[in-house]
Amino acid sequence: MVRAIFLLSVLSGLAWWLHGEQDRGRFRELDESFLDFLLGNARQEMKPDPAKINDVVLVRLREEDKDEYAAWPPLPIDYQMIVKNLAAYEPSVLVIADPLHWPEPKPEFIDSLARSLVPIPRIVMAASVSSDGDRDEASLTILRERLPIISRSSDKARSLPEAKRVLAMPETALSRQADIGLVMPGSTAVAVRTNHGLVPSLELQALSNSGRVPFEKIRITTGPGAGVHFSDSWFVPTPANGSWTAAEIEVPKVNALDLMVPEVTGSDADLTKALGKGKTIILGMDRDIAGSASKASQCATTVATALALPRVSVLSQTGQFIAWGIAGGLGLLLLLWPKHKALTRAVLFLFLALTASYLAFQALQVWCPPAIPSVLIAASGVLVRLFGRRHTEVPTAKSE
């Protein structure tokens, strides 16, 4: 009984101390490694939910309609009319997949377009960069000022492409109201390397806004088990090189020309059904100026696929307390046997606990951070090995 009280007291104090250390992030790497292991074995089963695909809508500026616009590529006045009508549908996020930058002399209505963006709560705009040629430090400076740094990434993230110069940034009046994501010709990388760190692609910036996940909670891994972690509950798997992949899905499409009609909101049943309310809208040309595949279409499919993936859940704080109690109970159970095999039994209990966690994740998509339960079981094994009952000792009510 004395040994049991002693072990319970030590484990309770240890659990309290470990809880404080966990709150300070001391076990993050261990817990994240375990989560990576769980997800690595489940990634093949992660399929997008078809019912959620409609949460993303592609609004296309079609090249075959170019004569209907003021110019091609479209001018600010064209975007202003489209955005004004889009805002009435109350999208949660608007992603403009083409860099809104025009050469000198600047066209009119840039400031008017900026004002039309005000009612939309979250806006993401594309900036174009290149990995070719010599590094242009002057143009890269603006990336340091305008884009967030992704500080949580694997060491192998150096395989991601590097931006050496900026091709086009959104007009200053527009970019003041938006987050910036990078597009790079020929690349679908989740992030881009710069001389000051990793910065997000257009798709990553769109997903951060759509999922309401701040960048300090985003983690990128490359190599085996590659993917993007949006906090501890949302994982988007990627190939080993860290590029986006999208399922073969069809997102709802709307012709941008249909949004240039005055007072169109609510008058077109098909538009109302497609655009709905609170959706993520991707706006862009069907093809870029060079005639290659639409970045807007790629972005819409990628974002829709990622948003429709199943989420995983971390065990609630109450559930974690229960898990710690079970770990402590296993430690107390070690007192029933002689101490000379305590460490072996502790390793066995630890294996059984991790196996149970693995099976629970496979069945319920719920995971428990393993650091504290593992330490409690291991500490129990050490304490019982030092102070437990010898194999020749006869247990009595007093000693037990």
Amino acid identity for residue 30 in this structure = L
> What proportion of the chain, given as a percentage, has pLDDT over 90?
31
Residues 191-228: tens digit of each pLDDT: 998 888 889 999 999 999 999 999 999 999 888 778 89
Output the CA torsion 86→89→95→98 (10° steps): -20
Closest CA to 73 of 284, 253, 300, 292: 284
What is the token pair recorded at 247? 């399922």
Closest CA to 303 of 286, 287, 282, 288: 282
- Specify the higher pLDDT residue, 36 or 15: 36
What is the token pair recorded at 180? 């910036």
Distance CA 97, CA 107 (A): 20
Q: Which helix (H) or strand (E) holds 356?
A: helix 342-364
Distance CA 274, CA 199 (A): 32
Handedness of CA 231, 235, 240, 242 (dihedral sign): negative
Amino acid identity for residue 126 in this structure = A
pLDDT at site 37: 85
Strand partners, 180: 125
**CB contact at 8 A, 183 and 289:** no
Q: Is the pLDDT of residue 260 over 90?
A: no
257: CB partners within 8 A, 6+ apart: 61, 62, 65, 68, 69
Q: Is the pLDDT of residue 400 over 60?
A: no
pLDDT at site 398: 43
What is the token pair recorded at 157? 């993230």
What is the token pair recorded at 205? 């910036």
Distance CA 327, CA 346 (A): 10
Q: How many CB atoms lie within 10 A of CB 49?
A: 11
Most confident of 4-18, 136-150, 281-295: 136-150
Work out whether strand 56-61 and strand 280-285 pair parallel, antiparallel, or are unpaired: parallel
**CB contact at 8 A, 330 and 378:** no
Q: Is the pLDDT of residue 183 over 70?
A: yes
Q: Which helix (H) or strand (E) holds 245?
A: none
**CB contact at 8 A, 178 and 125:** yes
pLDDT bucket at 21, cuts 50 / 70 / 90: low
Residues 89-139: tens digit of each pLDDT: 899 999 999 999 998 889 999 999 999 999 999 999 999 999 888 888 877
Q: Where are the domains of the chain?
A: 2-43+312-387, 49-307
Residues 300-343: tens digit of each pLDDT: 999 999 999 988 888 888 888 888 888 888 877 777 777 777 78
Distance CA 286, CA 283 (A): 10
**CB contact at 8 A, 61 and 300:** no
